[in-house]
Amino acid sequence: TKSLPFEATFWRCHRDHRLRSRVSVARRNPMFCDELGTDPRDVLAIDAIHTTYYGPVMRWAAAVVWRVLLSNPWNLPGSESAVLDMGVRRLRLHMVRWFQDAGIPHDRRIGDLTLTMLGAKRGCVVRGDRPHPGTVLRTKAAETGIMFEWALNLLQSEFGGGVQHREHLVVAGRALQRWLDITRTDSLCLSLPEPQELRDCAQRHLVYSRRAMIALVPKHHLLGTCLSERKPKGILGCMRASSTRG
């Protein structure tokens, strides 16, 4: 309780000539104060799921699947639309078989794979010179994660032999897979080498994604900065301890 009188500053107090609020905010804004323990570096965090899965994971997986599809490793005849339609069916068959071989639980499997789910073609053509830069997949975060794992397997199979910048894509994909494996650890306190390994994996993924001509988006930047956030006491670098959704 503060003794009267005192000076109070209200947050976003904007009213019209009838003294009605002109903003949609109805509740008070939490004050950022280090003395109160509400420093932005302590109470704000990057959303780990949507930063990784809707950013680097999605862009990498989309680029790989599109490049395999556009490379037409099956030598399908016909027009471009016919090749893409038949090709995505071949990819779906490969995905279903991979689910079975990898023992993926049924509740994690993707029910279907269509051209619509793969997003925009971004002006690329079948067996063209321009590599697909990645795009927004029409999948949920969990579906994007499992698609990423399948895409890494697809890229390293015989169907990925004609993919442009395949070597760089493999390095970037493996680095991101290792990054995800570390952040999924059961312990909130990582071992001493693991925070550095997270940084190395993030850097390796970003560098080789760029070399593979994947278009980088702001979430790629967040991947590189989320590890530099100040962690709670007793926590050693685990994303699950400082993210809004782990």
Residue 239 confidence (pLDDT) above 80: no
For tokens 């697909």, the residue is 132
CB atoms within 10 A of CB 37: 8
Q: Say if residues 70 and 88 touch (Cβ distance below 8 Å).
A: no
On the question of pLDDT at 94 being above 70, the answer is: yes
Residues 6+ apart with CB under 8 A from 162: 71, 73
Q: Output the pLDDT for position 30.
A: 57
DSSP state of 57: I
Q: Which pLDDT value is given to residue 210? A: 96
Query: Considering only CA atoms, which of 158, 145, 179, 167 is closest in space to residue 212?
Result: 167
**Residue 234: its pLDDT value, please?**
40
What would the pLDDT profile of 192-204 be if each residue is shown by its tens digit?
Answer: 788 888 889 999 9
Q: What share of the chain is helix, strand, coil (3-state, %, to 5)?
A: 50, 0, 50
pLDDT computed for residue 201 by the predictor:
94
For 63-79, what is the mean pLDDT?
97
Joined together, the tokens standing for residue 189 give 């306190």
pTM of the model: 0.81
The predicted pLDDT at position 104 comes to 95
In angstroms, the CA 137 to CA 139 distance is: 5
Amino acid (1-letter code) at residue 86: M
pLDDT digits (tens, 9 = 90+) for 31-70: 677 777 777 767 776 777 778 899 999 999 999 999 999 9
Percent of the chain at pLDDT > 70 equals 82
